[in-house]
Each structure stands twice: as structure tokens, then as C-alpha cells.
Structure 1
Amino acid sequence: MIIITSVLWISACAFFLYINQMQFGSTEFRLYYGLTLEALTTFIAASFCLRTMFSCDQDDPFRFSWKLFTMSLVLWGIGSIVYSIYPIFNNGAETPYPWYADIGYLGMIPLAIVALISFIRGLGVSIPLMGKLIAIIAFCVAVYYQIGGQENYALTIYSEKDGGLLAFSVDWAYYLLDPILLATAILIISILIGSETANVWWWIIAGLITYFLGNVAYTHAVANEYFTEGHPLNLSWPLAWWMITMGAMIAHQQNHS
């Protein structure tokens, strides 16, 4: 099951690259395929997380983590669908920013953070001091890059973008929540070595870091006005959800072993 799922998932992502690099099919086909891939993979990942949650015992401390991951992916998937509506009904035009989709996209991040915190509590172990220090450094570097690395994009957005205060607020929500997610993931990494559930959660952490990197790259691309639908960056999220799905499937197997 794991191998088949992986082959199908990677094949779907590879086909996305192929049709966009080779300009295969119509522009509308490539657009709709990419949008469908993002939304569909999100809900598939959510369904596997939900299945894993139900396979956990009622007193399993990780059951709550899987529940939150399911909810976070569903929110992101809803955001992806809302994002897709605009180009579909506006002749393929780029979705404006900010958009109603950002409600789902932003809602995903706090739930994922709480899911990771719940996992740490479930393990019942203390976080190494070095892990805490690295997490703090990573948070500061990520925030600095988001703000300073974008040529002060966040600081000037209020006066330069039509979105005004709304766009400014949404940007800052991303600029703070994404680094918090990264820092929390690093805390998990610092305690994974030697854990019996490490093989599962390495997949989860890899997926969340891929998600984070995709968000950062997307922000940079949008700020510098070179992002268009069909860009390879669109694969960041389907690949992130694939990794989370792998973790969920492995955890499900372990729960039934």
C-alpha cells in the first residue's frame, strides 16, 4: 500500500512537471491539473491522518496530534479549493492576494503547531537545551529572512499594495506563524533520535519543513513577481503532503502490528 501510494503520488507530481515544462496540452488543462493536484493530495493526506487517528487507542497520547493534523490539512485543502475558484471563473487570471483562501492556509499553521506540541507532551521527554537554542536561532533567522530578505517587502507592503492594511496583516501572519512552525519542528527533531516513533515523525517533520520552504520560496517569488501557476514551486505542497501521508501510513501499520 505504501509503495503503490508513493508511486502514484510521485508520478502525478512528475506529470505536473512534464506538462508544464513541455507545454503539453492547453493552458487551461495545465492550470486545472495543477490546482486539482494541490487540493486532491491535501485531502488524501488528511484522510490518511484521520485513519491513523481512529487506529489509535482512546488513551493514546498521539491520537490528538493526528486529529489536529487532519483538521489542519482539511483547512489547507479548503483554502486550496477557494484559491482555485478565482482563476477558473476568471479565464485563468492569477488569484489576487490576499484572498479568502488565506483563511484556510493560515488556519492550517496553528493547528499543525499545536499538533507538534501535543506530540512532545505525548512522548513525555524533556527537550534538550541545544534543541531549544537551535529552534530560537532558526526562528530569528526565518523571521529576518522573511522581512529583511525580501528587500523590506513586509515593511513597505502597506503603502505599495492595493490590499493595504489587510495585505499587511496577512503577510505578517505568515511571516510569524511559518517560523514558529519551523522552530517547533526543530524541537521535535532534537528529541526524535532514539524514540520508538522516530521513523513515523521523521516523515512528518520532513513534510512540514518542505511545506515551510515552499511557503518561503512562494513568498519570495511573489514579492519579486516571477511566480506563475505551473511553476515547479507548486509541487512543494503536494510533496509535503506525500511525506505526511507516509508518516500516517507507517503509524497506522504500527498501531495494527
Structure 2
Amino acid sequence: MADPPSGSRRDRGFAVAVAATVLVCAGFMVWMLTNLGGDRTTVWFDDLGELVAALLAGSACLAAARHASGPGRRAWALIAAWALCWALGEAVWSWYELVRNVPTPFPSLADAGFLGAIPFAVAGVLSFPGAAARGRARLRLFLDGLTIASALLSVSWATVLGRVYASGGDSLLSTALSLAYPISDVAIGTMLLVLAMRTARGGQSAVILLTLGLGVTAIADSAFAYLTAAGTYGSGNWIDSFWVGGFLLVGLAALRSLRHPVVAAAERGAPRSRLYLPYIPVGVALVLAVDEEFHGGNLGRFLFVTMLVLIVVVVARQVLTLSDNAELIRRLSDRERQLEYQASHDPLTDLANRVRFYERVTRALAVASPWRQPSSVAVLFIDLDDFKDVNDRLGHQVGDQLLEAVADRLRRCVRPSDVPARLGGDEFAVLVTEVRSTQELMGIAERILDALRAPVVLAGQCLVSPQGTIGVAIAETPQIGANELLRRADVAMYAAKARGKGVTGVYEASLEMAVQLLA
């Protein structure tokens, strides 16, 4: 039996790691809630569990860094430094509680490890490859980031930051450190949501796990700051399971990136769901602000200003969106007109093509007076003489140059109201309206023949003197139809070519039999 592909084995291994993480997190939280084994045993289990989880996350991130390349390598290395720096702070915390058997003071050297890890996390998130942003895209990204930051700051103030600030502290340092935890969490949350908006679909699973992991640890940080300010935090608290779960999720993100690396998303074609990411924290902030107003009785100056900034930024983002939509509509309209033009014109000569010419003849017959006999509408059918010889002797590129020169001369010969067209190959036609006499029509045909006979230099060295044969058909009545009028002009052209090249022939019913005999 053949061995399963290595990709399948990795997927199964990752699924096992996810299941193990869920079981460990659930077991850790149950231990914290039930105080299994007593206070001292729970403290040991708590401190060592957090330390091991941070070390595992750091090790997995280092493995991801070795496997990655470019910005991804630097990003995972910085995330590994974040986890290991936090583990160093936890080691100091554990030394106080487990070795010296005393409560960890606040502030302490442990806080240096915890807060010192924050810059590594921010730098790591910023180092991941993201979609290149230029011009208006960069402005959109800036406004989205400012929206997220303002909303998260409002959420943090309404839940943690405001209460930490109001409680003060034993010293200015302790107050600053207490505020640093939730503020740094706001910064990390902002960067994570911006990263999620700029990541390609293939690497989203790793980014989602990383976002969840850092987000869960941010919740634990904010809760730690809040409970510490209130004087109610102690090891063995159930919120410590959030640190364990957060670090294990970060480790899973690193493992996931081994198979699905984080890559930048294209600026266009990103999933529509990412457009809503900045507004998730906005919704949460609005709910908390309404709750604060109705139950707290007063928003407070800081929350009021923050919400005001949030509203201004959201309005600015929507104005930019409306402007982008207007620009998009304009471009689509221009593109639609361009496509319509391309569909109705010959790409080589830029003259009307057969479809467009047929439409114009039909329209001219429809508006022609039914009382005028003959009609004021006529068609000139032009066939280049010996064009095949030019292609065979000089090549198709030179032949195309000759067709372009013929088209230019045709434009200069006809009146502004006439419609020149290339029907295909070496066949051209002209729709003539407001014809006052047959003599006027023949004069237009002669001008075209004279213009075609002038020598033309092709490919910078080949001198060619083209000529053509023209068949003229006048609509006897507007009811004749475009197909019949074109057919008659074609018959007149073949009859004229039979008499000699470089001449003009006018359709008569008697030419039908002669052309059939020639065929």
C-alpha cells in the first residue's frame, strides 16, 4: 500500500495539534476554576503552564522563521522574540512565587519582560508581507487603520483603560505600567486587523490563528491590568488560561504557515468580507458607548472625544469610498464606450467594420424620404486591384501598411457626412447620403480612384502604386434594404473589374446576368 502524501500527513498532524490545544486549554481553565490540588499546586501549575506555552510558541515561530523567506522570515523571528521575551518575564514572575515564595511585586522585572515583548509583536505583525499600497490605496489603508485604532481605544477605555486610569496607583510608574498593557493591546489589535485585510486567501488561516492568539493574550493583558489596579489579581486566576490559549494559538499559526505561508493579497480582487473588518470594532465601540451613556450616566470627556474622532474618520472613509465609486463608474463607462467602439471598428484601419457599416446603411435608409425617387442613399463598394500580389511579394506586414494608407486616403476623399468602412480583406465601402445627382456620386468615386493611384512608400523603401475598382449602387427606394444595396454595389464592382481595373461602374439590372456568367 502506497504511503500517503506528505501534505496529507502534515494536515493530519496539524489537526492533531489543534485537538491537543483545545484539550489543553480546556483542562487548564478547569484546573484554574476548580483550584485542583489546592492553592500552592494551582500556582505551580499556572506559572509553569504559562511558561511552557510561551516557550512552545517561541519554538514554533523560530521553526516557521527558518522555513520562511523574505519578509516572512523576519516577521516570524520577531514574533518568536515576542514569545520568548514574554517567557523571560514569566520566568521572573515564577521565580518570585515558586522559588522565593513571595507575591510578585508590581511593578517588577517581570513587567520589563511582559511589556518589552510588545515592540517585538508590533514589529513582527508589521513585517508580514502585505499588499503594496500606493496613492489612494495607501490613504484607504491609513483611514482603515485609524478607524480600527480609534474603535479599539474606545472599547479599551470603556472596559479597562478608563477604570485603570481612574484607580490611579501607588506611584506614577505603577500607573504608567498599568496603562501600558491595554494601550499596547490596542496597537497590536490594530496591526492584526490591518494585516488580515492585506493577506492573500492562501495564508489567511495562519493569519487568523495569529490574530486569535495575539488577541486572546491581549485580553489577558488588559484583564491583568484591570485586576491589578483593583488589587484583586493573583496567580491561579482563571484569566491566566487566556495566556496559555493565546500562546498555543500563536504556535499553531506558526505551524500552519509551514504549509500555507503568509503572502500579500492583490490590491484588487480581495474578498468582500475583508471590507467589513474595520467596522467590527466600530460596532462594539458604539454598543459600549451607548451602554455607558444609559447606564453610567455620562460618556466622559475622553470617550466622547475618542468617539468623535471615530465618527470623523468613518465619515472621511465613506467620502473616499464614494469618490472611488464615482471614479470606478467613470472608468467603467469609458471602458464600455471603448469596447463598443472596438466592436464596431476595424482594428487595423480604425474605419467602421462590416457590422457598423450595415447598421449605418440601415439607419440611412430608414430616415430617407419615401417620396424621393431615386433615394438620396448610395453605397460605393471598393476593391483594391492586385492586393494579393503585394502580400505575396512584400509580406503581410507591408500589406497591412498599404491597407492603413488606403484608409487614410479614403477618409480625406469623402465628405464629413459620408461613412467609410473596411468590410474585410482588401474590400472597402463608403456610405453616401444626401446624393443630389449621379454626377455628384461619380465625382466622389473619381476622387477616391485618383487618391488611390498616388504612389505610397511602404516599409521605408517599397514604392507601391495601388489602384482600385469601384461599384456604385443607388437605392431606388428606401425599402430596398441594406443587404440588397450592398449586394448591388458588389455586382457593379465585379462588372467594372471585368471591363478593366481602376474604373467605376454603376449598378444596372442588366449587370446581374453578366456577373453570373463571369462567376
TM-score scaled by structure 2? 0.44
More helix by share: 1
What amino acid sits opposite 1:24 in the alignment?
L
1:203 is matched with which residue: 206, 209, 214?
Answer: 209
Deviations 1:132-170 (A, max 9, x none): 2422323431553444233612xx22xxx1xx2331332
Which residue number corresponds to residue 358 of structure 2? none
- 1:2–1:249 Cα contact (<8 Å) kept: yes
Paired position in structure 2 for 1:138: 151
Aligned to 1:254: 260
Matched, 1:185 2:192: yes
Q: Which residue of 1 aligns with 2:444?
A: none
Q: Deviations over 1:25-79 (max 9, x none)?
A: 132211101111100010001101100111123xx22110001011111000010
Q: After the TM superposition, which parts of structure 1 deviate over 6 Å for at least 4 consecutive aligned residues?
A: none
- Residues 138, 179 of structure 1: 8 Å contact kept: no
2:35–2:236 CA contact under 8 A, matched in 1 = no
In structure 2, relative to structure 1, the CA distance for the partners of 1:196 and 1:39 (3 Å cut) is same
What are structure 2's unaligned runs of at least 5 residues?
A: 1-12, 262-519
- Over 3 Å counting, the alpha-carbon distance change for 1:111 and 1:151 in structure 2 is closer
**Structure 2 equivalent of residue 123 of structure 1:** 130
- 1:15 alignment partner in structure 2: 27
Taking structure 1 as reference, are residues 195 and 125 closer, same or farther at Cα in structure 2, changes over 3 Å only? farther
Whether the 8 Å contact between 2:206 and 2:260 is mirrored in structure 1 is no
Q: Determine which structure has the larger strand proportion and give its number.
A: 2
Matched, 1:148 2:162: yes
Distance (whole Å) between structure 2 residues aligned to residue 176 and residue 209 of structure 1? 13
Residue 249 (structure 2) pairs with residue 243 (structure 1) = yes
Give the letter aligned to residue 85 of structure 1: W
- Distance between the aligned counterparts of 2:183 and 2:36, measured in 1? 39
Judged with a 3 Å threshold, the aligned counterparts in structure 2 of structure 1 residues 114 and 20 are, in CA distance, closer, same or farther, namely closer
- Are 1:142 and 1:179, in contact at CA under 8 Å, matched by a contact in 2? no
Give the stretch that moved more between structures: 204-213 or 143-152: 143-152
- Output the amino acid matched with 1:214: A
Q: Within 5 A, what are the aligned runs for 1:1-257?
A: 1-57=13-69, 60-91=70-101, 93-119=102-128, 122-126=129-133, 128-129=140-141, 131-142=144-155, 144-145=157-158, 146-150=160-164, 152-153=166-167, 156-157=168-169, 161=170, 164-192=171-199, 194-254=200-260
What residue in structure 1 maps to residue 342 of structure 2?
Answer: none
RMSD: 2.2
Contact kept, 8 Å, 1:203 with 1:247, in 2: the verdict is: yes
Corresponding residue SS for 2:233: coil
Rounded Cα–Cα distance in structure 2 between residues aligned with 1:108 and 1:85:
19
2:184 and 2:32 mapped to 1: Cα distance?
A: 31
Rate the CA distance shift 1:5–1:196 in 2: closer, same or farther, 3 A.
closer
Equivalent residues of 1:131, 1:186 under 8 A apart: no
Superposed displacement of residue 205, structure 1: 1.0
Residue 171 of structure 1: CA displacement? 2.5
Name whichever of 73-82 and 175-184 sits farther off.
175-184
SS class of match (2:107): coil
* CA shift in 2, pair 1:133/1:167, >3 Å: closer
Aligned 8 A contact 2:181 2:222 in 1: no
- The verdict on how the C-alpha distance between 1:249 and 1:226 changes in structure 2, with shifts beyond 3 A counting, is same
SS in 2 for 1:124: coil
Contact 2:192 2:211 in 1 (8 A): yes
SS at match of 1:123: coil
The amino acid of 1:140's aligned partner reads L
Gaps of 5+ in 1: none
Distance 1:21 1:117 in 2: 36
* 3-state secondary structure, aligned to 2:29: helix
Determine if contact 1:52/1:249 at 8 Å carries over to the other structure: yes
User: What SS is found at the alignment partner of 1:52?
Assistant: helix
> Partners of 1:212 and 1:23 in 2: how far apart?
24
State which drifts further: 134-143 or 237-246.
134-143
Contact 1:203–1:244, Cα closer than 8 Å, also in 2: yes
What is the TM-score with the length of structure 1 in the denominator? 0.85
| Gap change, CA 1:49 and 1:232, over 3 Å in 2 | same
User: What is the count of residue pairs matched by the alignment?
Assistant: 242
Verify the 8 A CA contact 2:165 2:175 in the aligned structure 1. no
Higher relative contact order (CA 8 A, sep 6+): 1
**Bigger radius of gyration:** 2
Matched residues, percent identical? 20
